[in-house]
Chains A and B, each alone.
Chain A
Amino acid sequence: MSIMQDSREATMIGRKSDGTPIRRPLSPHLQVYDMFQLTSALSIAGRITGAAWTAGLVVLVWWLVATASGPGAYAGVSWFLSSWLGVLGMFGLTAAAWFHTLNGVRHLAWDAGYGYAIPTTYKSGWAVLIGTAVMTVLTWVIAIIAWAN
């Protein structure tokens, strides 16, 4: 057999009872699966917010490097962060960061073996959403008070 180009092939090739190789059929997945149940939506959101935070880290690096470079560079990053795009981006990043953090706590509990009952996963899911809202508002109340002074 030639070298596989797609590693997913490893799980897709089987043999018939007479020994000839056969490509296994895929079971229906995305077509029939309701991805907007709370549990699956939060699972997908955990990954998206992680990727968003990765992008947001670039702004953090810019902020640190600009502060190290001097007042001129710092004025540049301050201008961006106080622009409507900067404020909107930072608000989104704050929400994404708190969600990823709180959802991460939920995952750590699962890793430790707790919270697998279906009603518990819904309760912890709602707790993550409410916690995200509370922490995002709290962070921005602090930011707005600091900004106003």
Chain B
Amino acid sequence: MAGNDFARNTTLRSPLGRVRGLGSAKGGTHHWWMQRVTSIALLPLTLWFALSAASLAGAPYEVTRDWIAQPLNAVLLLAAIGLTFHHTAAGMQVIIEDYANQEWVKVGAILAIKAICWLLAIASALAVLRIAV
């Protein structure tokens, strides 16, 4: 149907909407999907961590350090740290996108959240590795 305006413009988005760049063509599906993937992975990890952390309540320094140093615990902690901060950054981004009504506030806040999550994740992982390695 070359030359047919109707066939070439089979989109429900108006030309104005397309040039504004406010559509969903920004990897939104991947963001949504990774939230689900990380949440599924975090289900068993959260159960394990919450009950383990509870059993460490009031524990002396050596007991807590030795618990983190155990290889299985260290591996699961590193997995939990990576997944948790990915999930947190993704969730906080959605909250910011919903409530920030100024573009610069939105972009600035999302970048700040990403920076804080990266730094806290690296600090946590380094702490686990210092103890376990």
Chain B binds chain A: yes
A residues sitting closer than 8 Å to B (CB atoms) are: 4-8, 10, 47, 50-51, 53-54, 57-58, 60-61, 64-65, 67-68, 70-71, 74-75, 78, 81-82, 94, 97-98, 101, 104-105, 107-108, 111, 135, 139-140, 142-144, 146-147
Tell me, in angstroms, the Cα distance from A94 to B106 when the chains sit together. Answer: 30
Q: How far apart are the CA atoms of A50 and B93 in the complex, in Å?
A: 12
**Contact yes or no, B57 A144, CB < 8 A:** yes
| Chain B interface residue count, Cβ-Cβ cutoff 8 angstroms | 41
Asked if residues B123 and A61 are in contact (CB atoms below 8 Å), the reply is yes
B120 contacts partner chain A, Cβ-Cβ < 8 Å: yes
> In the complex, are the beta carbons of A140 and B54 less than 8 A apart?
yes
**A64-B68, A139-B54, A146-B58 provided; 13 other pairs, C-beta below 8 A?**
A7-B106, A8-B101, A10-B22, A50-B95, A57-B84, A61-B123, A64-B127, A71-B61, A101-B43, A104-B39, A104-B43, A142-B55, A147-B58
Question: Closest Cβ of chain A: how far from B130's Cβ, in Å?
Answer: 4
25 pairs from A and B in contact (CB 8 Å cutoff): A4-B103, A10-B17, A47-B95, A50-B95, A54-B92, A57-B85, A60-B124, A61-B123, A61-B124, A64-B123, A64-B128, A65-B124, A65-B127, A68-B127, A74-B65, A81-B57, A97-B46, A97-B50, A104-B43, A107-B39, A108-B36, A142-B55, A144-B57, A146-B58, A147-B58
Given the known inter-chain contacts A5-B103, A47-B95, A67-B127, please indicate yes or no for A143 contacting B61, CB distance below 8 A. no
| Residue pair A146, B92 in contact (C-beta under 8 Å) | no
The residues of B that contact A97 with a CB separation of less than 8 Å are: 46, 50
Which chain A residues lie closer than 8 Å to B24 at the CB level?
none
Given A7-B103, A10-B17, A60-B124, A67 and B54 contact (CB-CB distance below 8 Å): no
Complex interface residues of chain B between 1 and 58 (CB less than 8 A to chain A): 17, 20, 22, 36, 39-40, 42-43, 46-47, 50-51, 54-58
Residues of chain B with a CB closer than 8 A to A7's CB: 22, 101, 103, 106
How far apart are A95's CB and chain B's nearest CB, in angstroms? 11
- A116 shortest CB reach to chain B, Å: 17
Q: Would A146 and B120 be within 8 Å (CB), given that A5-B102, A108-B39 are in contact?
A: no
B residues less than 8 Å from A74 (CB atoms): 61, 64-65
Q: Determine if B131 and A146 form an interchain contact, defined as CB atoms under 8 angstroms apart.
A: no
Q: Which of A65, A70, A139, A142 contacts B123 (CB 8 A)?
A: A65
**Smallest CB separation, B65 vs chain A (Å):** 6
